[in-house]
Amino acid sequence: MSNLASILESRLGRRRLGWLRLLSEAGRDRAAGIYLVGGVVRDLLLKRPILELDISVSGLDEALALHLADALGGRLTARSQFNTFKIAVGSTVIDLAMTRGESYAHPGALPDVWPGSIEQDLARRDFSVNAMAIDLSVDAWGELLDPMSGQRDLERRLIRVLHPDSFADDATRIFRAVRYAQRLEFRLEEGTADLLKASLGGLDTISGDRLRHEFQRVFAEPHPGSVLSRLADLGVLEAVFPPLGRRSGPWPDENGPSDEAEELVWLSTLACGLNAGEAAQFAQRLNMGSAWAAVVRDTVEIEGILNDVGSPGILRSSVYHLLHQYHPGALVGVVTTHSEGLARDSIELYLRELRQVRPELNGRDLIGLGAEEGPEIGRLLETVLEARLDGIVTSRAGEESLVRRLIS
Ligand code: ATP
């Protein structure tokens, strides 16, 4: 068995190490086993950045969680039905979970959960590289628990399920496998890849909310394009929603320069190529909220007007009118997917420049210049905006003389 105490010391930093030592002692007070588990162990061994501390505690209940929070000088901020808790220490959140066993009544069901040993807890996990723990107890501080040979798979750079029913029990693991493989630049172990392909039908059992959450996690990866492309190649996208299978690559590697919410841009990338009816069904399948559904709908509409947007010599004001009703995330998504042509130039011009253009004059200014209150004001502002967009006026004085001409 290897001891990772020196890795803990060199990689976690004084503050986090101090918390683990406090937890270790507080665990001893209550005779509880206490372990660092899952992704954090994987990332420690891979020398990747450690973003969160996930801790499993044997027999964890609310009283014990409170005891541990007190020992850290922190606050219990959340608890769930499966005896998981969050402790806030300053601005850091530490996740605590009861070591547990799990079973699945039927594919796609949420698991039945019961208190279990750390070995049972590791055996219920998704992949060997995520099924390791580091013992934090005072007597065994730093010992690596690796019953599923995760360390060997880290060395071989493999994502491997722990048992043949894994994807059937929980088809969201299909997404997880692909995310980890692309993120870590690992391969899917051969048997795992076969099981994955054979289990695609199980995605039908996954609720829209859970599927949406999986896509959200894909979009939050460092390279979502590579994950989407792999999901497409493996037939996962088609299994989720058949029209997504028509999509042929390439998937954008990175987004274009944009400060739009990345998540919505990637969603739009995913929706490219659907028709209006399919877009609505896709939104329904993922039980999307209004922002997501609007981006999917907008993406399809924008693709439908690409010829108009890209017509040679199109006025800047016409580009504005064609595009201003759409979500910028959808515009960026379409532009990054359709990588060439005049339409792309027009959309980029809109995103970079046109969408910020506003007249300097406002309604009150127009009344001051003699315009009649009421709908005429809106029409005049519109005309001034168009003149601004097309470069016919470039200053406040120019706007004023245009308005005077229009109302004289
Ligand atoms: P990330 O780096 O993406 O946050 P993570 O490994 O911390 O990775 P989480 O989704 O936070 O991933 O889950 C924590 C741990 O819980 C995982 O490492 C894995 O052991 C286990 N786990 C999470 N989801 C599942 C699942 N669907 N099936 C089995 N085990 C899971």
Question: For the chain, percent helix, then strand, then coil, each to nearest 5?
Answer: 55, 10, 30
CA atoms 149, 154, 157, 161: torsion sign: positive
CA of 309 to the centre of ligand 1 (A): 44
234 and 100 in a common domain: no
Residues 132 and 15 in one domain: yes
Closest-lying ligand 1 atom to the alpha carbon of residue 43? 2
Residue whose CA is at the smallest distance from ligand 1 atom 3: 39
Q: What is the pLDDT of residues 27-45, one digit of tens each?
A: 888 888 999 999 999 999 9
Domain presence at residue 301: no
Q: How far is the CA of 361 from the centre of ligand 1 (A)?
A: 55
pLDDT band (50, 70, 90) for residue 257: very low
Let me know: does 234 contact 227? Beta carbons within 8 Å.
Answer: no
Select from 195, 215, 243 the last residue of a domain: 243
Please check whether residue 328 lies inside any domain of the structure: no
Q: How far apart are the CA of 28 and the centre of ligand 1, in A?
A: 27
Query: pTM higher than 0.85 for the full model?
Result: yes
Q: How many domains are there within the chain?
A: 3
Say if residue 35 is in the same domain as residue 172. Answer: no
Q: How far is the CA of 339 from the centre of ligand 1 (A)?
A: 35
Distance from C-alpha of 229 to C-alpha of 224, rounded to nearest angstrom = 8
Residue 241 pLDDT exceeds 50: yes
Number of H helices and E strands in the chain, helices first, is 21, 11
Residue 323: closest CA among 309, 344, 311, 307: 309
Instruction: Give a yes or no: residue 264 inside a domain.
Output: no
| pLDDT at residue 31, rounded to an integer | 81
Instruction: Give me the CATH number covering residue 212.
Output: 1.10.110.30
Residue nearest to atom 8 of ligand 1 (CA): 39
Residues 152 and 14 in one domain: yes
Ligand 1: nearest atom to the Cα of 180:
3
CB under 8 Å to 337, separation ≥6 — which residues?
252, 268, 269, 272
122 and 230 both lie in a single domain: no
34-37 vs 84-89, strand pairing mode: unpaired
Query: Distance, CA 39 to ligand 1 centroid (Å)?
Result: 6
The answer to the question of residue 277 being in a domain is: no
Q: What is the Å distance from ligand 1's center to 111 Cα?
A: 15
Ligand 1 centroid to 54 CA: how many Å? Answer: 10
C-alpha of residue 38 to centroid of ligand 1, in Å: 6
Distances (CA, A) of 163 to 98, 200, 401: 22, 16, 77
Residue 395: φ, ψ to 5°: -145, 170
C-alpha span between 345 and 53 (Å, rounded)? 45
Looking at the structure, do residues 10 and 147 belong to the same domain, yes or no? yes
Among protein residues, the one whose CA lies closest to atom 28 of ligand 1 = 126
Residue among 21, 48, 59 nearest 185 (CA): 48
Which residue, 87, 94, 24, 14, is CA-closest to 53?
94
pLDDT at 106: 86
50 and 128 both lie in a single domain: yes
Range of the domain at 402: 363-407
Q: In terms of domains, do 108 and 170 share one? A: no
**Residues 126 and 48 both lie in one domain:** yes
Which one of 43, 125, 128, 134 would you pick to mutate in the ligand 1 pocket, going by the greatest count of ligand atoms within 8 A of its CB?
A: 125
Confidence check: pLDDT of 254 > 70: no
- Give a yes or no: residue 221 inside a domain: yes
Considering the domain boundaries, does residue 320 fall inside one? no
Q: Please give all residues whose beta carbon lies within 6 A of any atom in ligand 1, as ranges.
A: 38-39, 54, 125-126, 130, 170, 172-173
Residue 251 is given by DSSP the state: P
pLDDT given at position 364 = 93
50/72 same-domain check: yes
Domain boundary among 97, 121, 156: 156
pLDDT digits (tens, 9 = 90+) for 183-216: 999 999 999 999 999 999 999 999 999 999 999 9
What pLDDT, in 10s, does the model give residues 102-123? 988 888 788 889 999 999 999 9
103, 39: one domain: yes
Ligand 1 atom nearest the C-alpha of 39 is: 6
Structure confidence at residue 290 (pLDDT)? 96
Q: Give residue 14 CA to ligand 1 midpoint distance, Å.
A: 25
Q: Which of 243, 262, 295 is the last residue of a domain?
A: 243
Instruction: Report the atom number in ligand 1 closest to the C-alpha of 40.
Output: 7
Residue 284 lies inside a defined structural domain of this protein: no
What's the gap between Cα 70 and its chain centre?
33
Q: Which of 96, 176, 184 to mutate to test the pocket of ligand 1 (most atoms within 8 A of CB)?
A: 176
Residue 151 shares a structural domain with residue 209: no
Distance CA 86, CA 38 (A): 16
Which distant-in-sequence residues (6+ apart) come within 8 Å of 84 by Cβ? Answer: 95, 96, 97, 98
With a cut of 70, say whether residue 375 has pLDDT above it. Answer: yes
Q: What is the CATH number of the domain that holds 152?
A: 3.30.460.10
Q: Which residue's CA is the nearest one to ligand 1's atom 17?
A: 38
User: In this structure, are strands 84-89 and 187-188 parallel, antiparallel, or unpaired?
Assistant: unpaired
Q: How far is CA 302 from CA 243, 268, 274, 353, in A?
A: 18, 10, 11, 18
Q: Is residue 296 part of a domain?
A: no
Q: Whose CA is nearest to atom 6 of ligand 1?
A: 39
- DSSP E strand boundaries for 83-146: 84-89, 92-98, 100-103, 112-115, 133-135, 144-145
Helices (H), 30-56: 39-45
8 A C-beta contact, residue 182 and residue 151: no
